[in-house]
Amino acid sequence: MTIISSSTIAGDKVVNRNGEGLGDIKDLMIDVDSGRVAYAVLEFGGFMGLGSKLFAVPLSAMEADTHNKRFIFDHSKESLENAPGFDKDDWPTFTDRDWGTSVHQYYGVRPYWE
């Protein structure tokens, strides 16, 4: 069992199995009713935060690499570029189950609420 604090995760790098950088974790979205971390908000692309895009990635789609203080995410840069994302001024409604189901399906993981 591994338990880490949310402040430890913020800013962690996300890489794929080939070691390609896919961005940084900017935030965690917590389902207060279930007590589970629903999504990690991943920032990808751009330069110094300009032109970047945000993605809600189900935490179950990533693997913690605590030794290297990063997360491993089995997707390519191209896959992430085509993923459903959002910008910093227009966040999705995380409680919308239809939206959440489509996000989980895109990343090939079962919705956490099932």
CATH number of the domain that residue 66 is part of:
2.30.30.240
* DSSP for 46-72, written as a single string: SBTTBT-EEEEEEGGGEEEEGGGTEEE
Range of the domain at 95: 6-107
Per-residue pLDDT of the chain (114 residues; tens, 9 = 90+): 566 777 778 888 999 999 999 999 999 999 999 888 999 999 987 665 566 889 999 999 999 998 899 999 999 888 888 888 998 889 999 999 999 999 999 999 999 888
- In the prediction, which pLDDT does 55 show? 94
Is 70 part of a structural domain of the chain? yes
Sequence letter at residue 19: G
Is 1 part of a structural domain of the chain? no
Count: domains in the chain? 1
Is 24 part of a structural domain of the chain? yes
Is 50 part of a structural domain of the chain? yes
